[in-house]
Structure 1
Amino acid sequence: MNRRLGISIYPEHSTVERDKAYIKRAAECGFERVFTCLLSAQKPIDVIREEFSETIGFARNLEMDVILDIAPAVFSGLGISYDDLSFFAELGASGIRLDLGFDGLRESQFTYNQYDLDIEINMSNNTNYVNNIFSHNPKETKLLGCHNFYPQRFTGLDFDFFIACSQRFKELGLRTAAFVSSDAATIGPWDINDGLCTLEEHRELPITTQAKHLWATNLIDDVIIGNAYASDDELAALGALNRYVLEFEVEVEAGVSAVERTIMFDEPHIRRGDISSYMIRSTPSRTKYKAEQFPVRPVESHTCGDVMIGNDNFGKYKGELQLILKTMPIDERKNLVARVVDYERFLIPYIGAWNTLAFKEKTK
């Protein structure tokens, strides 16, 4: 399933023009969807219709999907019948997200709505909720899953719980989504905003690392920035991510040669299938660059996150790239060329046999 990026907007706490400018910047960076919220909407229905329609229409014209977050209370608050989703279609939405569910049958019936709206359901509960919906024979192509975000510090999902919840949805073949949090953003649906991420362990991480982690699990398709407004730099950095290859941010060592840089950053890397518990090996470069020189440089460590390349003393293994997995004795036949940044080393175990990986130099 293709992987997408999304942003969130909160019209109740901003202006139409500011939201449209943000949507435009995100679209230019390759974002494909917008999350917006009716849960906190307090304005009269006519004002909501006017403001949301303009913003949603602007996003749809940029070929972005727009999902409206709602709950049963929204239906009653706006005087909308459960049997008539025309209001959301009139706003121009691609679909609705049910923050709180119904009885399974109603969700299934929603998927057959005449307006072809997607029905996105809450993934952050490890119950048989989604299985109950499937027992009522929904139109599966119109059913999506999306985790919650958590504005209050220390209330985000535990990782193991997140995995269990997400697996339920992936095993059913549904498109899935989760939220990451921007350091620059200050707006959310409520007055508490300690960041708007799904996983608690993501709250202090760079936004790109959060996204890499979600995609590395192979359980999340869409990564959405939960708070608004992310900075231009954050939007650009997320847009530039490889969505299908785990790319580690590294700090390059002094004295690295041009050919070592070429191997590290320009050559494809695939972990060999005969895996070692001590290192990830990428071997094609030792053949391609066997005629090159790799002068020996002193090395002081072989620890997790070290990126090594075999030097002139390494015989047939000269030019081979290795990513160290755990501390091992120093081998002077290998040059240290870079180190994975501390906050991304936890991602290294996601590289299994025959997995592709890449490296990107840290710029700040």
Structure 2
Amino acid sequence: MKRELGISIYPDHSDPQADQSYLKKAAKLGYTRLFISMLEVNNKTKVSQKFSEIIGYAKKLGFEVILDIAPTIFDKLGISYDDLSFFAKLGADGIRLDEGFDGSKEAMLSYNPEGLALELNMSNDVAYLDNILSYEANKPFIYGCHNFYPQAGSALPYDFFVSCSQRFKRQGIKTAAFVTSQKAKIGPWDINDGLPTLEMHRHLSLELQARHLFATGLIDTVIIGNAYASDEELAQLATSERYKLSLGIEFVSNATELERKIVADPMHFRRGDITANAVRSTQVRVKYANAANPPHDNRQEFQVGDVVIGNDDFGKYKNELQIILEPHQDPRKNLVGKILPEELMLLDFVKPWTKFSFVLKN
């Protein structure tokens, strides 16, 4: 399934012109999913006008629009779950169901004549999805999306996130999760300590959060939960790898031009016959077999996350790149850089044959 990026807006708390500007910036960078929160309903006519305008603008820019609806809104609008035409007339492509039914109801709703997708809450480790699918739901119109968590300390722990996500992924359901901007201030509530799905992401850079979610292989769509992410954040996330694992590296001061070139190679992959000692990328040693590489920074004990390259004393292994997984010494290897500390978690995803590249930080 293709991977995509999304943003969120909150028309009940934001300025329409600012929303449009944000949408335009994101669309130009390749963002394609829009999460819109509908929180307040005072007048059905005014609500229709406000949301149809912003949704219409987003659709012209190519966004798929999912509308997040509080259950109380149905009563306030005088509509029922059996008739979703109001949301289709607004231009939405789908609605997020915060209120669960008996499984049979959701399955029936997935055949709504308007063709709206039904987005289910992924952040509960129960057989909710299996129950719905057992009633022969219209599977292509069922999406899954995790919650976001405005209160610091309240988001999901990683292992629980994995367990919840696997329930949807093994059924082939399109999945989504939220990351949080470190610059954005707007969310749905008066508490906004960021809007991530995973607690471990709350204070990380936006693009690292996304790279981590994509690396799990469990999430198809990464959505920025809060608004508005900065121009720099939007651009960095838009250019980050979605399909290939990428690792942030800081070079040591003595790293040579050759070593920088080897690190920057766009297609490293871990050998299939792995070792516990290090991740070995061996094709670069073939590519640069005739290039001299004098020893430097080669006498210390290498630590987990160090990136080393074989020097001239390493025979046929000269210019092989390795990422250290177990501390050891070997003067035939030059230290050329270090994986950033906050990115060491990504080493868990370097499996046999995993393709990877580096994000150069200096």
TM over 0.5: yes
Distance in 1 of aligned mates of 2:276 and 2:230: 39
Distance in 2 of aligned mates of 1:25 and 1:102: 38
Pairs within 5 Å for 1:94-113 = 94-113=93-112
Residue 301 in structure 1 maps to residue 301 in structure 2:
yes
Alignment CA distance shift 1:207-1:118 (3 Å): same
- 1:150 shift after superposition: 0.5
- 1:301 shift after superposition: 3.2
Residue 261 in structure 1 maps to residue 260 in structure 2:
yes
1:77 aligned partner: 76
* Contact residue 4 and residue 33 of structure 2 kept, 8 A: yes
* Contact residue 10 and residue 188 of structure 1 kept, 8 A: yes
- Counterpart of 1:77, as a letter, is K
Distance in 2 of aligned mates of 1:50 and 1:71: 19
- Counterpart of 1:73, as a letter, is T
- 1:141 shift after superposition: 0.5
Pairs within 5 Å for 1:143-154 = 143-154=142-153
Structure 1 gaps, min length 5: none
1:16 aligned partner: 16
- Counterpart of 1:153, as a letter, is A
Q: Deviations over 1:205-229 (max 9, x none)?
A: 1111111111111111100000001
Distance in 2 of aligned mates of 1:298 and 1:146: 47
Q: Name the SS for the 1:11 alignment partner.
A: coil
2:25 aligned partner: 25
Q: Name the SS for the 2:264 alignment partner.
A: helix
Question: How does the TM-score come out when normalised to structure 2?
Answer: 0.98
Identity over aligned residues, as a percent?
A: 51
Structure 2 gaps, min length 5: none
Q: Name the SS for the 2:312 alignment partner.
A: coil
- 1:267 shift after superposition: 4.1
1:207 aligned partner: 206
Q: Name the SS for the 2:358 alignment partner.
A: strand
Distance in 1 of aligned mates of 2:185 and 2:60: 27
2:221 aligned partner: 222
1:313 aligned partner: 313
- Counterpart of 1:88, as a letter, is F
Q: Name the SS for the 1:251 alignment partner.
A: strand
Q: Deviations over 1:212-264 (max 9, x none)?
A: 11111111110000000100011001000110011111101112222211111
Number of residue pairs the alignment of both structures matches: 361
Distance in 2 of aligned mates of 1:14 and 1:3: 28
- Counterpart of 1:297, as a letter, is H
1:59 aligned partner: 58
Alignment CA distance shift 1:237-1:286 (3 Å): same
- Counterpart of 1:272, as a letter, is R
1:275 aligned partner: 274
Distance in 1 of aligned mates of 2:301 and 2:36: 49
After TM superposition, what 4+ stretches of structure 1 lie above 4 angstroms from structure 2? none
Q: Name the SS for the 2:144 alignment partner.
A: strand
- 1:33 shift after superposition: 0.5
Query: RMSD value over aligned CA atoms?
Result: 1.0
- 1:13 shift after superposition: 0.4
Distance in 2 of aligned mates of 1:71 and 1:51: 17
